[in-house]
């Protein structure tokens, strides 16, 4: 039977409990709630508004770059700090112990709103940086909370697709910034970034708490009522509710987990997979392209507006395709195809810059354009969202909150390193930078083939038993 993901013993938030129990009943027919109810769908939509905010924050720095540099007279180093400091805020925002996610989620929405407003009214580099830091602090928790909360409330036969909506909305947020940034000023873009924060802040009052979190708090009747709400009024939730209660009570007998507990031998495989995927995702160059797409196109001699617009029309459909294939083809196959495609994309960009430097091919800007689109499309297909899905599935319940915190901090640390150093790497060697990214993506293919388990159609407990062997 599937054990409920009540996050970890240190009190993960109601939105942090990856759904183990909800999945146990997943394939038993509608009577047991294996289909997506209206409440599940609406709760997911409210949750992924946070993903949309995340995407807006990522997509903001690329179209805003020229306007901010002109209006405020920032140097390249100052803008690199502005572009990357969001990741520092995100590391701070995601590294806390989550005692009450409802409060923390609302609190971080306020930080995000204040951050956007600080950017809107900025007159100097330091106010820009403060606004960007606060925005990052707000989205830091969301990068972990959203996929885990969605994984928790959906049946196992729908878990992959619903969790992958997280990445789809990130793409939508960044895409809107790319498109709108071709028309509006950077201050208007910041206003647009604040709107979904307000919508989610309101929506949080209308979505149910996690049955697992309610059980952890000893609110057994409320837990069963929330489960019934997620599964539908005609669903039989008796066995699932009993399982949640039994597992919660057994969990209460465990000693409190500490960070050092993550490094036991039995968790080694899960930790290597979770941390490894996040490191390789970032060092494959995704945020270099996402944060500085406009400058990449300009450096390659291609129109930045045409390039960023084309990225939108590639990444959203490819992310949607990944969502549709998630529970059909499986996570592992999509990851392999995605990593191979990003390897090719970075190689094409690097080759374009090399040919440009050697003045061997006048059409090299088109090659860079093609490389960016290939990278964007294949990254959106799998490497963008699947590492977060797998992260929400492979860690055992008693260390899940700690592991999620560690993995998320590692992801944001990698994001900061790449986003801050990218402009300096480009000054060193444009082609060398992307050839390095291509090599990392190539290694990612090997890493996935050798170490990453297939989690499609398996309960979380089955996955954890396999990874602990």
Domain chopping of the chain, boundaries = 21-467
Topology of domain 21-467, per CATH?
Growth Hormone; Chain: A; (1.20.1250)
CA distance 58 to 173: 8
Rg of the Cα atoms in the chain: 22
- What average pLDDT score do residues 127-145 get? 84
Is pTM beyond 0.75? Reply is no
Q: Please name the helix (run of DSSP H) or strand (run of DSSP E) that holds residue 141, with its range, or none.
A: helix 125-153
Report whether pLDDT(436) > 70: yes
Each residue's pLDDT tens digit, 260-276: 777 788 788 888 999 99
Residue 20: predicted pLDDT: 38
pLDDT at position 280? 95
pLDDT the model gives residue 344: 97
pLDDT at residue 469 in the model: 56
Note the pLDDT of residue 16: 34
Q: For residues 189 and 306, give the distance between their C-alpha atoms in angstroms, rounded to a whole number.
A: 18
How far is 112 from 119, CA to CA, in rounded Å? 11
How large is the average pLDDT for residues 417-431? 90
Give the model's confidence band at 397: pLDDT under 50 very low, under 70 low, under 90 confident, else very high.
Answer: low
Helix axes 159-180, 386-394, angle to 10 degrees: 140
């Amino acid at each position: 039977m599937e054990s409920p993901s009540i996050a970890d013993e240190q009190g993960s938030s109601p939105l942090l409990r990856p759904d183990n129990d909800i999945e146990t009943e997943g394939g038993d027919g509608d009577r047991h709630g294996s289909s997506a109810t209206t409440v599940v769908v609406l709760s997911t939509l409210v949750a992924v508004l946070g993903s949309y905010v995340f995407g807006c924050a990522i997509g903001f720095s690329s179209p805003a770059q020229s306007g901010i540099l002109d209006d405020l007279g920032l140097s390249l180093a100052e803008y690199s700090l502005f572009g990357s400091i969001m990741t520092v805020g995100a590391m701070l925002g995601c590294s806390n112990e989550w005692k009450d996610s409802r409060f923390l989620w609302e609190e971080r929405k306020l930080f995000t709103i204040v951050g956007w407003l600080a950017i809107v009214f900025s007159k100097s580099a330091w106010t820009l940086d403060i606004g960007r830091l606060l925005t990052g602090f707000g989205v830091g928790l969301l990068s972990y909370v959203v996929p885990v909360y969605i994984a928790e409330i959906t049946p196992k036969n729908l878990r992959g697709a619903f969790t992958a909506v997280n990445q789809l909305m990130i793409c939508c947020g960044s895409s809107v910034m790319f498109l709108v940034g071709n028309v509006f000023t950077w201050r208007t873009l910041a206003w647009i970034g604040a709107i979904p924060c307000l919508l989610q802040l309101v929506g949080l009052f209308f979505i149910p708490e996690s049955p697992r979190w309610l059980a952890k708090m000893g609110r057994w009747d409320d837990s069963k009522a929330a489960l019934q709400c997620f599964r539908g009024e005609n669903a039989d939730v008796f066995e699932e509710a009993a399982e949640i209660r039994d597992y919660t009570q057994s969990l209460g007998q465990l000693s409190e987990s500490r960070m050092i507990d993550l490094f036991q031998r039995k968790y080694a495989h899960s930790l290597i997979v979770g941390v490894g995927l996040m490191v390789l995702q970032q060092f494959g160059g995704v945020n270099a392209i996402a944060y500085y797409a406009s400058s990449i196109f300009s450096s390659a001699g291609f129109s930045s507006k045409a390039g960023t617009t084309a990225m939108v029309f590639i990444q959203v459909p490819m992310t949607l395709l990944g969502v549709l294939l998630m529970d059909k083809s499986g996570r592992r196959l999509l990851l392999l195809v995605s990593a191979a495609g990003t390897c090719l994309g970075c190689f094409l960009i690097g080759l374009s810059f090399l040919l440009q430097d050697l003045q061997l091919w006048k059409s090299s800007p088109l090659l860079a354009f093609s490389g960016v689109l290939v990278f964007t499309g294949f990254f959106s297909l799998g490497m963008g969202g699947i590492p977060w899905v797998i992260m929400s599935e492979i860690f055992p319940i008693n260390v899940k909150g700690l592991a999620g915190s560690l993995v998320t901090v590692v992801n944001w640390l990698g994001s900061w390193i790449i986003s801050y150093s990218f402009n300096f790497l480009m000054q060193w060697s444009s082609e060398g930078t992307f050839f390095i990214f291509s090599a990392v993506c190539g290694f990612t293919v090997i890493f996935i083939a050798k170490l990453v388990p297939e989690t499609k159609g398996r309960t979380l407990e089955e996955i954890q038993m396999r990874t602990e062997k």
